[in-house]
Structures are given as C-alpha cells and as structure tokens.
A and B are shown apart, each in its own frame.
Chain A
C-alpha cells in the first residue's frame, strides 16, 4: 500500500535542514529590532515569604532604565489550566512561594543596566516557614502555601472501575510495591526567549513556545485583550519537551514592558532561570498493587500515588490525571482503582515533561510486573504477552483503542534483542530488561474548554503553480512537524515535497492549531493538512478534466503530474493546470479542518487520556554494572514501535533515539536537587547531568505495521510514547544484572553500589 505513495513514507531531508546546519536559522534570542530594550525578571530569594513592600524608585532612577514593573503594574488575574486551579499571577502579590518566584521585571537599554537595576529593587519580605516535601506538606501544622488548598492538597483524584476487591479475592497472587520518582527538568538546548512590541492597540509576540494558540489565548485572557489584537509567532525553536507549554514570566513581562516603554522588549532566561521556571517532571511516590492468576493474567490494579507539584499548578492537573489514566491502555484488565494526591510545596512548579504524567508510573508498573513474573516463575515478556491489549477494545475507563500492535512489538523485540538467549542467562553484573509504553496520539480535548477545531490547514498554490504554501498553526520545535506536514500536503495534493513551503505557528499569518503537545500534530494537524491537500487535488483534477477533455474520475495526479489512469503517457503538469485554475477561478486554495470525535467515558476526569489512536512500544536494554563502583553502562538498546503508518522514517527513528536518550537520562543520571532551604543546587549542565554522546548506547529502532482507522494514512504518535518504557526497562535490566531492586529513580552509581552492598 505504501508503495503507491510518492511523498510520504520517505526520509526526505528536513525542510529546515539547511538553515539549521549553516547557522542561518534565527532563534528568538537572535532577533533584534531597532530601538529594542532588554528585560529581565527579578526572582524571589526566599522559598516562602510575605511581600511587605517593594520599592523600585532607586532602580527607576538608574540611567538607561526605561521601566520597572511589579504586581501593581499588571492585572491581578490568576491563570493556569483548570479554572479551579488558576493559582499563578504574573508577579507575586502577597506572597512568594519558592526561590525563583516572579517578583518584578526591568527593561533597560542594555543587559548590564538591567542587572544593575535588578539589584536596586528593594523588596521587604517577612520570611515564612516553608515545606519542600510532599508528605511533610500534608502533615498537620505544615506551612500552608495556598488558602484554597487545605493541607496543601491541590488535586485529589479517586477513580474506581469494576470491582477491585473481588478481583483481589479471586487472584492467585496479590502484590504491592512502592517506587519513587524524582524531579527532572526537560533542559531544551534553547533557553526560553520572548520579544514583544506594540503597534497601537495591537501587540506582536515572538516566543519560544510550543503552542502559539494557547499563548495568544492566555495573553488575551490575563491581560484583557481581544484575541485578535494579540499576534503570537515563533521563529526556530530548539526543543521544548513540555517545558515550553505554559506561558512564562517572559511572555507576560515582555508584553507589559513593551507597552509601558513603547519599544520592543526582548527577555530571555539563562540556564538557571530555566530551572526556576521549571514545568518539568513531577516526582511521584507510587504504591501499586496488582492481583494476577497463576498464569500471570492481570485481574485488577490499584494505583495509589502522591505527586509533588511544586508551587503552582499550570498543566500539573493534567499530569495528575495522566499518571493513572494511561496505565490501563497497555494491558487488558477489568478492575482498576486510581488514587492520586497532588501536593503543593515551596519548590518550582512542575508540569508536563515528555510522556506527561506517565513515565514514572510506567517505571513503577513495569518494575512491579517483573517482580510478579519472577514470583510466578514466568518469563516477564511472556507474561506481558498474555496481558497485551488487543486491537478494537475498550479500556476499563472507556477509552477506545483501535489499532494496537503491542503484542507484535514484544514479539519482534524478543527476536532482535536475543531475549531468549540472554534473559536470566547473562553473567553476574550484566543484565537485560524490558519495558513497555505508549502514548496518546493527541488529546481528545483541548486544554481549555472550547468548541474550536483542534487543527486547521490552508494550502495556497502560488500563481504559476510552481510552488505551494502550507499554512498551519502546528509548531515545529525540532521534532520535524514542518517537514512531515509538507510531505503530507504534497501527497494529498499529488504534488512534490520539494516544491512545498510552509508558514507555520503564526496566529496572524498561519492557520489555527492547538500546537505541539500530547504528541498530537502528526495525527491532528496531519488530518487537517490531508483534507486541505485533497481539496487542492480535487480542484486540480476538475480543471485538468476540462482541459484534457476527460472526466475527472479518469485522472490521477502524483508527484506534480496529472495523468490519465488508463494511459499514463497522457499528462499535464500540476503547475500548468494550477495556473489555468488561477486564471479561471482565482487563487487555488485548499482547506482542511480537524476536530476529534467525542471520546471517552462519563466519569470525573474522563477527558484525560482520550485520543483517536494509541501508540505502543517495547524497549529492551542490556546493561553492564561495575559491581565495585555501581557504575552502570547501557551497552545496547532495542525499541520496537507501533506508531501506525510512518511518514518520515528518519525523523521517526530520530524521535526514538532522542526519547530513549531522555528516558535513560532520567533513569540513571538526572535529578533536580535542592538544599534544606529550598535553594536550587544544580541549575546548570555540569551538575544536572544529562547523558553525553559517550553515554549513549547503540539503539536499534524497529517498527511493527499497523494502520489506524482514525488517522490520516493511519499515522500515530512516536515523540512521547518512546520515552515511557525506558525507565522501567532499565530498572528491570539492573535487577537482572545484580539481583537487587533499586526502588527509586534515578539509579545513580551510588544507589546501585549501596544496593549491592546491602545485598551482601
């Protein structure tokens, strides 16, 4: 089937490759406007303190300073994701809630002056007791961070499906394990930056952001502007991984400073600021109980979790729901209980990091399943095969899963990794482990309540037909969406990828789209693009039919050539037909729009986890552990993915490698650390240890073929799903190597060393 396609299913070069490799690509912080000011935020030095007064007069007097703003100069409207948890202000009003909280901002003629001015702002604080641990925060008498979250509990979820008590009674074996996750940060290479300028009542905002639509929405809501007066766009973005979804203090700050000064204002984070802004992964503390039959069939699961949210909620409410929602996708069981407490603490706010709330629960669940398999004396891979969800089934909460190749992925992974020859048979200190994962291919519901379509696409064929421009709101953040969407547009049009151009992620010039999150763009933006391409294609065939004197059913168009199906020698070029269309009918434009059908059940929180299609992935990793030092080396890894039809194999495998890299980093090295006063200890790339190229093993990335009926060409996601199996997979490999379980992330050399020592 894929053989019939000429533009998709191919590793065409990225559309932005030339600009990026030559350094021509301008990222937001590279852009300069004449007369532009620079701005910076003043951050809180205290983890929890009442603001008594702020005196900006000295800072304002400093030559070169053009504006100093605090909460007094900005709307006091709170923002966030779910209205019940709008808990963040542009600048703190009464209290600061973590070291790094936003207090004020300065715009001045240059960077030097800005830094000097920040030092001249006098803030009088009354320091309050603070709390940095989720369990401490829930205790009686703990400092209260928000009045509206008694006991510091910010979200409480209790879901119960089927009859878990009965399932556990029927079970041959019921086991509980506790695993702890850690706080990690996305560390995109490009630090956040924002530039804003005003023209009359209209503001233009360049931001390094994953969704131009949501930023436009937030800015208009919080600043009380018409959406139409706010234009948000981006240039190139050097990675996001979820950390550039929530609006940052830079976005609000730059817009307001630009308004006050009447000049363009550029603001950016340095590396440490990024850790303060955070929105990285929530640490989760996970009790998980499962009942199984003697054969290893799962009868029921209880996920009982606590997560540390840090000071603010933002997307964190969705993280809390995702943590439990997606546990039911991979394996088919009918009884499920999910309890979650999301707790606020005096640390930077957590949010959505690649895989959203799911990777840590997957780590817990995949480790737990290996423990169960070991107890039952069953190969852990075989036990998972027994439980693997079948295509065309419903999860216990009512998520419909159509295409699903988890079983095939496991079977293939078993082959290519040499599992049968290795599992349990490697010498001491060497081990192999597996883990499964997967993700939604786009969320079934938008982030805020809206009936807008999720994706819109427009294609304009230029006047003489020698190029076509795709207009989309999809956000290229490095993952390759501009390339893939242009391939899709060309395929649907019968055109050539090489002749495509793209105008993307600009709320004025491009089309509407919800943006780059929840691994949604290939499926959802792709669906709109396909429609728009088919719209063009139809117009081309109709016009060609007139010119060629045949009926349009007799024609087809591929690779920029219209031809008679029964006699492919008879042709017209797409370009000349397009030109004729233009002369006769005006500009040749195709339109497409996508909104998911109504998905999911009726229980509270039922929207989170819905998706038109679910990916599945199996990973196997082999590790070598130095038993004297605890040093762990991942020597090889295998990933088999069910991501539906693949538009661009090179980009897909790039995502798998990157996702494995990220999951491996979280499994072994990465953790954001604070001292006992809540002060960030490692907000830099020396002590927040991302793996280096030398730490990365060879990764074999393979596919199983599925074609999802709910997606354009049957595509599914890969970007996030591929990071969800990794921590569990490495956890199981470590166990296989040393025969003892490290029960908290990350598996630092010292923790492994200690585990080996304690075993002895």
Chain B
C-alpha cells in the first residue's frame, strides 16, 4: 500500500485555511489526524490532489465552557484529549467514555472529533452521544459561519451537508437539563472493534418520571439516527423495567440496519432492543456515565 501523489499545505490561520479550500476546489481535502483519510488514500478509495492540514490551527484543539453557550469542543480535539478533559469528565463523563472506548490508543492520540464526524461512517462512535445531547456544529468558510444541529448534518454513508469549501471548527453541547446520558458501544471484542450497534441516550428525570429523553443509534441506518417513537414512549411516564423493554422493542423496529460481515440485520435490531434498554437504565440510575 502506498500513498498516491498530492500537494500538501499547512495553513497558519483559519482564514488561510478557508481561502485555500475555496481556491483549490473539490479536489482538495482537509487533513486532521489522517486516520480515516490516509487509510482511504492508501486503499485507493480516494485520491485528493491537495491535502490541507489543520495541524497549525491550535485554537481548534481547545475544550472550553463558554457561558451562555455550553461546552465548546474544537474540531481538532483528539479522542484522548476528549477522554482526558477534566471539564468533560465533570459535566459529561458519557462523552469521555465514548471517546475512550473507540479504536486503540495510537488512533485516539491522533484521531479527531472533527474527522470522526465529517467522515460520516454510520458506525462512528462519537456522533450518537453528541446527537443525544443535542450538539450543534460550527461550519466556517470564506463566506462566514453557520451553525447546524449535528442530527441534521448527515445525508448518507460518507455524505454530509458540509460544503466543499467549508471547515468544521467546533462542536457545541448547549446547556441543557438532562440528568443523565450514556453511550454503549457493542463491538465484537473488548477493544479495537467497530460498533455493530451503538446506542446513546440522554434523559431528564424527575424522580421516577421521565421529562425528556433522546435516543440516538449508530451503525443501524445509513446515518446516525434518533429513535423518536421510542423517545415518545418515555416522556411523561414513570419508568419501569417493562416500559424500558417496550422502548427497546420500539427502537429496534424504528432502526434500519443492513447485514454485513459484522452482523445480520436481525441481530442488529435485537441488539438495539437490548442496548437501548440497558443504556436508558444506566443513564436513569447513574447520571452522565
């Protein structure tokens, strides 16, 4: 395996990066950690003529709380930076856990949240938890900035609403009243396995009554998806094991998985049932975990 030829730029500012991206057109690709992109290029699935590295844009690696806005994570924050962030550990341990349980340490050291989102693989581990928490994306181009809910960003496997001249600069988890959230990745070994099913949930509980619930599923549809009917079954109701089982069953009918080498459609559906139930129970009982 060998990388094809390409031109390589390392812009020193966000403006330069946007300008370059606009100038070079659709033949250009943004390079973050490269764990997806370079792999695809080596396998000849993609042959961009230009790579624009974001590695000099230090401002994109920060993870901060901005009051009135929420937690802002730069698109170049690596998985390990996310899982080690004391801010996130305190507010949303569930996000740290999701980052901690993907790939392997080497990949987590270089792979970024921006890459994980823009790459738009149905089984990607970070989108579900961020969708459950209602995250917003900040997209920047020479024409300015726009904000889009992560949930609406994906249009199909490998496809998003990102314009060819646009950069993802940050992900915001807006302030919210969720009392608990979690992401359960079900892979076919303890570590280094892609998700067969990924279930993220966020819940707002008032004692035993569910005031709000969001269920986001990964790896069971062309894009990460919400199980809205299942969510509706929860809201306003007292939580019992029977109800959670029914919610799981509902989510399993809502999703739209395919059969592939990691699992059949039938198996994936049933795993959605099991892990929706388990994730809800975990978030209800234990908070943001």
* Residues of chain A whose beta carbon lies under 8 Å from any beta carbon of chain B: 111-112, 115, 270, 272, 628-629, 669, 673, 681-682, 685-687, 689, 691-695, 748-750, 753-754
Chain B residues 175-208 with CB under 8 Å of chain A are 186, 188-194
Select the residue from A111, A693, A748, A750 with max chain B CB neighbours within 10 A.
A750
Contact among A112, A629, A695 with B186 in the assembled complex (CB-CB below 8 Å): A629
> Which residues of chain A have C-beta atoms less than 8 A from B271's C-beta?
629
Contact among B2, B263, B270, B274 with A111 in the assembled complex (CB-CB below 8 Å): B2
Known pairs A112-B2, A628-B274, A753-B267; A673 contacts B191 (CB<8 A) = no
Closest 4 CB pairs of A and B: A694-B190, A115-B2, A692-B191, A628-B274
Asked if residues A669 and B189 are in contact (CB atoms below 8 Å), the reply is: yes
B253-282 interface mask toward A, CB cutoff 8 Å, 1 = contact, 0 = none?
000000001111001001100100000000
Quote the shortest CB–CB distance from B130 to chain A (angstroms). 23
Asked if residues A686 and B192 are in contact (CB atoms below 8 Å), the reply is: yes
Quote the shortest CB–CB distance from A668 to chain B (angstroms). 8
Known pairs A686-B194, A687-B261; A753 contacts B189 (CB<8 A) = no
Asked if residues B2 and A695 are in contact (CB atoms below 8 Å), the reply is: no
> Which residues of chain A have C-beta atoms less than 8 A from B186's C-beta?
629
> Which residues of chain B have C-beta atoms less than 8 A from A689's C-beta?
188-189, 193
Known pairs A694-B190, A694-B191; A750 contacts B264 (CB<8 A) = yes
Interface contacts (Cβ under 8 Å), in number, total 43
Q: How far is the CA of A270 from the CA of B42 in the complex (A)?
A: 12
> Which residues of chain B have C-beta atoms less than 8 A from A629's C-beta?
186, 271, 274
Contact among A115, A673, A693, A749 with B188 in the assembled complex (CB-CB below 8 Å): A749
> Which residues of chain B have C-beta atoms less than 8 A from A673's C-beta?
261
Contact among B1, B189, B274 with A695 in the assembled complex (CB-CB below 8 Å): B189
B273: nearest residue on chain A (CB-CB)? A628
Known pairs A629-B274, A753-B270; A692 contacts B192 (CB<8 A) = yes
Q: How far is the CA of A694 from the CA of B194 in the complex (A)?
A: 16
Q: How far is the CA of A112 from the CA of B1 in the complex (A)?
A: 9
Question: Chain A's interface: helix, strand, loop or mixed, by majority?
Answer: loop
* Residues of chain B whose beta carbon lies under 8 Å from any beta carbon of chain A: 1-2, 186, 188-194, 261-264, 267, 270-271, 274
> Which residues of chain B have C-beta atoms less than 8 A from A695's C-beta?
189-191
> Which residues of chain B have C-beta atoms less than 8 A from A754's C-beta?
267
Q: How far is the CA of A754 from the CA of B266 in the complex (A)?
A: 10
Contact among B189, B193, B267, B274 with A750 in the assembled complex (CB-CB below 8 Å): B267
Asked if residues B261 and A669 are in contact (CB atoms below 8 Å), the reply is: no
Contact among B188, B191, B264, B267 with A669 in the assembled complex (CB-CB below 8 Å): B188
Quote the shortest CB–CB distance from A633 to chain B (angstroms). 9
> Which residues of chain B have C-beta atoms less than 8 A from A691's C-beta?
189
Asked if residues A682 and B189 are in contact (CB atoms below 8 Å), the reply is: no
Other contacts beyond A111-B2, A270-B1: 9, CB < 8 A = A115-B2, A628-B274, A685-B192, A686-B192, A686-B193, A686-B194, A692-B192, A694-B190, A750-B267
> Which residues of chain B have C-beta atoms less than 8 A from A686's C-beta?
192-194
Q: How far is the CA of A270 from the CA of B43 in the complex (A)?
A: 12
Q: How far is the CA of A78 from the CA of B189 in the complex (A)?
A: 42
> Which residues of chain B have C-beta atoms less than 8 A from A748's C-beta?
188
Q: How far is the CA of A112 from the CA of B193 in the complex (A)?
A: 31
Contact among A115, A682, A685, A692 with B190 in the assembled complex (CB-CB below 8 Å): A692
> Which residues of chain A have C-beta atoms less than 8 A from B194's C-beta?
686
Asked if residues A750 and B263 are in contact (CB atoms below 8 Å), the reply is: yes
Q: How far is the CA of A624 from the CA of B169 in the complex (A)?
A: 45
Q: How far is the CA of A382 from the CA of B66 in the complex (A)?
A: 69
Select the residue from B186, B189, B192, B271 with max chain A CB neighbours within 10 A.
B189
Q: How far is the CA of A509 from the CA of B141 in the complex (A)?
A: 66
Q: How far is the CA of A358 from the CA of B270 in the complex (A)?
A: 36
Select the residue from B186, B194, B261 with max chain A CB neighbours within 10 A.
B261
Known pairs A111-B2, A270-B1, A629-B186; A681 contacts B192 (CB<8 A) = no
A681: nearest residue on chain B (CB-CB)? B261
Select the residue from B264, B271, B274 with max chain A CB neighbours within 10 A.
B271
Q: How far is the CA of A750 from the CA of B191 in the complex (A)?
A: 18
Q: How far is the CA of A686 from the CA of B195 in the complex (A)?
A: 11
Q: How far is the CA of A673 from the CA of B262 in the complex (A)?
A: 11
